[in-house]
Amino acid sequence: MQLGILARTFVRPTLTAVLDAVKAHGLNDVQFNLACAGLPPMPDRLDPDLCDRIRQEMAVRKLTMVAVSGTFNMIHPDLSERQRGLRRLATLAAACRRLGTSVITLCTGTRDADDKWRYHPDNASPEAWRDLVTAMQTALQIAHDRDVTLAIEPEVSNVVDSATKARRLLDEMGSPHLKIIMDAANLFPAGTLQHQHKILDKAFALLGADVILAHAKDLSRDGEAGQQAAGTGRLDYDHYLSLLQGSGFDGPLLLHSLAESQVDQAVRFLQRRLERLAG
């Protein structure tokens, strides 16, 4: 496993300044967001010259774009919003080759109309699942046409709120273009953190073979809120990392949900844990 980071951790006025900040912390793998290049995260169009420039600036610094953010609310209560998101996803997928990546990260969404990461009770409805399947079928056709991979993560506030539902979606879609982001801190509904080993074990049993990216953050409590820098909360990182290794995962472990001032400490924490795991 190699350490990386979500590029939006670094707030800078220019693309080059963002990438310089990543490199200054000794990191080489980046989950990119087009906001770092002064664009909306999901633009309606992408200038090919800008895509080429982003790839070139990454190459100069020997940085790898392991994924690019393509998150939108896949079950937004307004159909036109879902359709807009899918059109923008097609734009992003068409640009991936020029950007230098083949993975797009998604958000499975929520019935909350204002925040795609906020829980809504209707997320558990059959209609919400139907809308997710419909949107995902279109998204996967886009992925097939552009030869890219879409990555989702179970997230307690979204329609895919558990490893069980993520497995169900993978099985229903049956597509090699759909994979998993494993983020242990996203898997604990309120009142369940005390059972974290059991929940993590089940998640890896169901999804371990399909993990393409892993996220590294922590949490002060279970439920929808309380996320924080890796190594500062209650997540058992030794167990999480051993499960990643045991699943055969050897990809990027990406820091996020932390302040820039916490990056070096989080990197040191994870490096020590990975060294211990290596024996």
Domain boundaries, the chain: 2-278
Rounded average pLDDT over 199-216:
98
Alpha-carbon distance 92 to 87, whole Å?
9
Q: What pLDDT score was predicted for residue 221?
A: 80
Alpha-carbon distance 19 to 54, whole Å?
10
Alpha-carbon distance 52 to 269, whole Å?
35
pLDDT digits (tens, 9 = 90+) for 49-97: 999 999 999 999 999 999 999 999 999 999 999 999 999 999 999 999 9
Rounded average pLDDT over 263-278:
96
Task: Give me the CATH code for the 2-278 domain, please.
Answer: 3.20.20.150
Range scoring the smallest mean pLDDT among 1-10, 11-20, 179-188, 222-231:
222-231
Using DSSP's 3-state secondary structure scheme, residue 223 falls into coil
Please give the mean pLDDT across all residues of the chain: 96
**Count of C-beta atoms within a 10 Å radius of residue 119:** 17
* H helices, E strands: number in the chain: 8, 10
Confidence bin at 278 (pLDDT 50/70/90): confident
Q: What pLDDT score was predicted for residue 224?
A: 63
pLDDT digits (tens, 9 = 90+) for 104-151: 999 999 999 999 999 999 999 999 999 999 999 999 999 999 999 999
Q: What pLDDT score was predicted for residue 150?
A: 98
Q: What pLDDT score was predicted for residue 226?
A: 65
